[in-house]
């Protein structure tokens, strides 16, 4: 049994590429992890890992051994999750990574209700605008916005979030209300780092080019909204980000009759034999939660 535990530990070290990160996830000391790997190497009589102060790498023997350890770890997880799924109540720790803006506006409220309904589950939420590695960092689930690159992960669409064009009443009073797509070339924008400086739109079969210009460019949805609310210009943003401010009259929607694009919101998880019940239950709950929001009538729940 001790040897099996060391094999599983070895797989975790390889996947996180760090003794410290493995120790943190398991809630044990780094020295305890190192000692168990040393004992495993002594038992096998071969070196599995090359260690430096900053880097770990697999030896040739380690590469072969890891393949078997990873397979065994997958079978152990598969057996555990199958047994857990037989219980009526979901339990365990669910680790999620999500962009900051969507997380604060949508996912945090959903999680609060989910935890209330499921008292035996714990959630670790990482709000991060970077595309982190699920396997290396031990995440069960990632929420991603916009089109996805080719990936070995499984993608489950949540919904398509329409983009809305907004500005404050104060900004519009000072700068005029755009009544056509061409008018947008004459306005200041709060620019977003993921948005090109030239926007292309098609309406009634005609293509329009908008040259966006502005005094501020940000890489965060919350910052974008703050600058728009401070009258620095208009912006194109997801409906969930602007909805509350629109409802309270702090923002005015513009060109509502024009077809504006949507951004897909997807959930990603690693391909595995058996998807844990905690993941499927959370995804079903989140999709249902989104359907109940006031702004979803403008969106498309997948």
Q: What percent of the chain has pLDDT over 70?
A: 92
Which has more confidence, 90 or 184? 184
Helix (H) or strand (E) holding 211: strand 206-211
Residues 151 and 207 placed together within one structural domain of the fold: no
Let me know how long the chain is: 302
The SS3 of residue 296 is helix
Measured distance CA(215)–CA(92) in Å, rounded: 47
Q: Is 88's pLDDT higher than 70?
A: no
Supply the CATH number for residue 43's domain: 1.10.10.10
Q: How would you classify residue 130: left for phi > 0, otherwise alpha for psi between -120 and 50, otherwise beta?
A: beta
Residues 254 and 169 placed together within one structural domain of the fold: yes
Q: Could you give phi then psi for residue 36, rounded to 5 degrees?
A: -65, -35
Residues 177 and 290 placed together within one structural domain of the fold: no
Residues 103 and 151 placed together within one structural domain of the fold: yes
Residues 176 and 289 placed together within one structural domain of the fold: no
The answer to whether the beta carbons of residues 301 and 159 sit under 8 Å apart is yes
Name residue 296's beta-bridge partners.
none
Residues 255 and 171 placed together within one structural domain of the fold: yes
pLDDT, position 132: 83
Residues 7 and 73 placed together within one structural domain of the fold: yes
- pLDDT band per the 50, 70, 90 thresholds, residue 297: low
Supply the CATH number for residue 268's domain: 3.40.190.10
Q: What is the DSSP letter of 297?
A: G
Of 66, 86, 106, the position where a domain reaches its end is 86
pTM above 0.75, yes or no: no
**Mean pLDDT for the chain overall:** 87
Rg of the chain in Å (alpha carbons): 24
Report pLDDT digits (tens) over 100-150. 999 999 999 999 999 999 999 999 999 998 888 887 788 999 999 987 765
Residues 176 and 247 placed together within one structural domain of the fold: yes
What residues make up the domain containing 12?
1-86
Measured distance CA(48)–CA(10) in Å, rounded: 9
Report pLDDT digits (tens) over 210-262. 889 999 999 889 999 999 999 999 999 999 999 999 999 999 999 988 878 88
pLDDT, position 258: 81
Number of domains in the chain: 3
Supply the CATH number for residue 171's domain: 3.40.190.290
The answer to whether the beta carbons of residues 53 and 30 sit under 8 Å apart is no
Residues 190 and 254 placed together within one structural domain of the fold: yes
Q: Is 77's pLDDT higher than 90?
A: no
Measured distance CA(261)–CA(236) in Å, rounded: 10
Residues 175 and 122 placed together within one structural domain of the fold: no
Q: What percent of the chain has pLDDT over 90?
A: 49
Q: Is 84's pLDDT higher than 70?
A: no
Lowest-pLDDT range, 35-39, 116-120, 269-273, 275-279?
A: 269-273
Residues 147 and 282 placed together within one structural domain of the fold: yes
Residues 82 and 3 placed together within one structural domain of the fold: yes
Measured distance CA(183)–CA(220) in Å, rounded: 26
């Amino acid at each position: 049994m001790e040897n099996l535990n060391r094999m599983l530990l070895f797989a975790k070290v390889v996947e996180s590429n760090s003794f410290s990160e493995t120790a943190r996830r398991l809630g044990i000391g780094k020295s305890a992890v190192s000692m168990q790997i040393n004992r495993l190497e002594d038992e096998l009589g071969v070196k599995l890992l090359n260690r430096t102060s900053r880097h770990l790498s697999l030896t040739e023997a380690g590469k072969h051994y890891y393949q078997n350890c990873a397979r065994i770890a997958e079978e152990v997880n598969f057996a555990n999750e199958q047994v857990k799924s037989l219980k009526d109540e979901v339990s365990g720790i669910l680790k999620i990574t999500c962009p900051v803006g969507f997380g604060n506006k949508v996912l945090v409220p959903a999680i609060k209700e989910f935890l209330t309904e499921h008292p035996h589950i714990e959630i670790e939420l990482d709000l991060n605008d970077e595309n982190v590695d699920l396997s290396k960092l031990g995440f069960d689930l990632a929420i991603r916005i916009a089109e996805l690159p080719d990936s070995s992960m499984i993608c489950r669409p949540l919904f398509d979030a329409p983009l809305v064009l907004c500005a404050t009443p104060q900004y519009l009073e000072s700068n005029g209300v755009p009544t056509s797509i061409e008018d947008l070339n004459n306005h200041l924008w709060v620019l977003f780092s993921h948005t090109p400086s030239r926007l292309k739109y098609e309406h009634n079969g005609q293509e329009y080019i908008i040259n966006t210009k502005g005094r501020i460019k940000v890489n965060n949805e919350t910052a974008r909204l703050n600058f728009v609310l401070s009258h620095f210009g208009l912006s194109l943003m997801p409906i969930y980000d602007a909805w509350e401010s629109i409802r309270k009259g702090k923002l005015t929607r513009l060109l509502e009759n024009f077809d504006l694009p949507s951004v897909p919101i997807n959930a990603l998880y690693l391909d595995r034999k058996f998807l844990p019940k905690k993941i499927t239950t959370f995804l079903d709950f989140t999709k249902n939660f989104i359907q109940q929001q006031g702004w979803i009538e403008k969106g498309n729940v997948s």
